[in-house]
Amino acid sequence: MLKKITKHYKRLRYTYMKLSGGILIAAALFFPAFVKWEDPEENYFTVYLNGENVGVVEDTATAETLLQETRRELVQDAGGLVFIDVDMNLEGQAVLWGKIDDEADIRENMRRVLQANIKETMHRSYVMKVNNYMVSLGSREEVEQLLQAAVDKYDSENRYQVELAHVEGREFNVLTARILDTAGEAEEEALEANALPSRTGGLDGVFSAAFEEAEPIVEKDFQDYEQGIIHMDFAEEVEVVEAYLDESELTPLNEAVEEVIKEQEVSAVYEVQPGDTLSAIALKVNIPMETLVDMNDSLENINTTIRVGQELIITVPEPELSVDRQEERYYEEIYDADVIYVDNDDWYTYQTRTLQEPSAGFRKVIAIVSYRNDKEVGREIVKEEIIMEAVPKIVERGTKTPPTFIKPISGGRQTSGFGRRSRPTAGASTYHKGVDWAVPSGTTVVASCGGTVVKAGWGSGYGYVVYIQHEDGSQTRYGHLSKILVSTGQKVVQGQKIALSGNTGVTTGPHLHFEILINGRQVNPLDRLQ
């Protein structure tokens, strides 16, 4: 009986083992979504992306691949540089039975998590820099359109085209702008295409080349000149750099064009020329006289005397990007010949005499006129035909440097300037011939310029005065003194102590009155003091 039971048990165990083996083989063949038993290594990985469960994979390499593919798709869809917060963690286990998720589902879950964690999308952009001005645009084409708008403002013939080119030798990918003459290039190409090949060789070729070189250059006639714009370029260096920027940092093209082309008020310096007056300068620079006075501390009011060489602050309209151009122009004009100067070494530089009066002439002209934006900055005559010769003005002028003048006191507060004024007290003049500085009585007064004392004593309304004659014929006067320290006929040098200030004569308080006379007439001392 025991033998039968044992035999039956063995048959059951064999059947169980056979059935179990069949089930395992079937699972391996028909259920691939379940991982195989690999004890003791981890073979079942739950993927967490930014803390969220996005699925289960059988190895870490699969998770990395799926993440890379998903990120690549997101970047392509965004069309720019995308910044995303990414933190992937894998939790591994060693299991006998475990379901692996479909890769498409895992990628979709990853995409959802990544999209929710996009920080910003950076667009491929172009930053243009001109001096201290910078603007960011969305494409290279927009940069070219912006620069072309600056050119088209002056190019009515649509002849010149902007081109961006790489700057050689720069470490980074930097572009610069240049302006091409498309019509000129087309003409050169046409000439090259129509040029006939030389059929001469040997000595004939040598002689032909020699004759061509020896052929005289025929002077161009007026109608042979092109006239119009012959050259254009940007006045400033233009640099363009590729960058990745957020869309909020980009400037719309129409706004950028307005910013770059619109003229801005820029401070400049104007140097006073011979014959200038404040009113003439105001008209020349198109700024009201009152505004010029407000802008310049050296101008007290619209009646302030200005001198040659004096520098005045003015404002001029200039765009952010300036365009230089040269135009070939024909015109007819009445013209003046250049002044001819005859130097006289015995005269001072302010002494002149006209030896011959001028007379205007008439001529036809071809000139190359240079402009920066709308302002003419130069003119070169390349051909002219004189119809009537101009007669030049001939002026004799001195070469000797005249004496210099220094302030005759140290410190002091100016209380009255040169020129018209309200009468400060009874007996005082309404036209002030000098300048007054309020100083305590007894302040040291020095010679403004070296020379000979021609008066030292009482001077009516001036009180005690000193007059000094200088070698060029000019004279300085010092009034309202309390004490005189020099005498008539005495020689003094510049800076020598000559008197003490006071309150004598017609005054409203202690001060020094100071005058400079040129050719016997009082001038504004402030224009002469060094």
Q: Domains of the chain: which residue ranges?
A: 44-116, 121-188+223-262, 263-319, 323-400, 413-527
Residue 6 has a pLDDT of: 47
Q: What is residue 527's three-state secondary structure? A: helix
Highest mean pLDDT among 18-32, 163-177, 205-219: 163-177
d(Cα 353, Cα 506) in Å, to the nearest integer?
A: 40
DSSP tag of 233: E
pLDDT > 90? residue 495: yes
Q: pLDDT band at 37, cuts 50/70/90?
A: very low
Cα–Cα distance measured from residue 58 to residue 529, given in angstroms and rounded to the nearest whole number: 95
Specify whether the CB–CB gap between 452 and 489 falls below 8 A.
Answer: yes
Q: What are the backbone dihedrals phi and psi of residue 418, each rounded to the nearest 5 degrees, phi first?
A: -85, 140
pLDDT at 456: 95
Q: How far is CA 162 from the centre of its chain?
A: 20
Q: What is the mean pLDDT of residues 297-319?
A: 83
The answer to whether 479 and 459 are in contact (CB under 8 A) is yes
pLDDT tens-digit map of 406-465: 999 998 888 888 877 665 665 556 678 889 999 999 999 999 999 999 999 998 888 999
Return the H-helix or E-strand segment holding 373: none
Residue 216 banded pLDDT, cuts 50, 70, 90: low
Per CATH, which fold does 413-527 belong to?
A: Glucose Permease (Domain IIA) (2.70.70)
Q: What's the pLDDT score for residue 18?
A: 60
Round to whole Å and give the CA distance between 142 and 254: 10
* Interval 367-382: pLDDT, tens: 999 999 988 889 999 9
Query: Over 60: is that where the pLDDT of 477 sits?
Result: yes
Q: What percent of the chain stands above pLDDT 70?
A: 81
Which pLDDT band holds residue 466 (cuts at 50, 70, 90)? very high
Q: Tell me the average pLDDT across 337-365.
A: 92
Q: Tell me the whole-structure pTM to 2 decimals.
A: 0.51
Give the model confidence (pLDDT) of 148-194 as tens digits.
999 999 998 899 999 998 877 665 678 899 999 987 665 555 555 55
The matching CATH number, chosen from 2.60.410, 2.20.230, 3.30.310, 2.60.40, for 323-400 is 2.20.230
Residue 206 has pLDDT above 60, yes or no: no
Q: Are 342 and 396 in contact (CB under 8 A)?
A: yes
- If you write DSSP's letter for every residue of 112-173 in order, what string do you get? HHHHHTEEEEEEEEEEEEETTEEEEES-HHHHHHHHHHHHHTT-TT--EEEEEEEPTT-SS-
pLDDT of residue 313: 87
Residue 245 has pLDDT above 80, yes or no: yes
Using a 10 angstrom Cβ sphere, with 0-12 exposed, 13-18 middle and 19 or more buried, the burial of residue 487 is exposed
Question: Residue 102: which pLDDT band, with cuts at 50, 70 and 90?
Answer: very high
Q: What percent of the chain has pLDDT over 90?
A: 42
- pLDDT for res 2: 42
Residue 38 has pLDDT above 50, yes or no: no
485's tokens: 């320290």
Judge whether residue 238 has pLDDT over 80.
yes
Whether 80 has a pLDDT exceeding 70, the answer reads: no
Q: At what angle do helices 60-78 and 103-116 cross, to 10 degrees?
A: 50
Angle between helices 253-261 and 140-152 (to 10 degrees): 40
Backbone angles phi and psi of 234, in degrees to 5 = -80, 140
Q: What is the mean pLDDT of the chain?
A: 83
Token pair of 484, please? 């005189």
Q: Which of 300, 278, 299, 298 is nearest to 289 (CA)?
A: 278
Q: Are 480 and 463 in contact (CB under 8 A)?
A: yes
Render 212-239 in DSSP notation, one character per residue.
HHHSPPPPPPGGGS--EEEEEEESS-EE
User: How large is the average pLDDT for residues 77-99?
Assistant: 79
CB 259 within 8 A of CB 150: no
CA proximity to 449, closest of 472, 476, 430: 476
Measure the CA–CA gap between 454 and 466, rounded to whole angstroms: 8
Architecture of domain 263-319: Roll (3.10)
pLDDT surpassing 50 at residue 5: no
Q: Strand, helix or coil at 2? A: helix
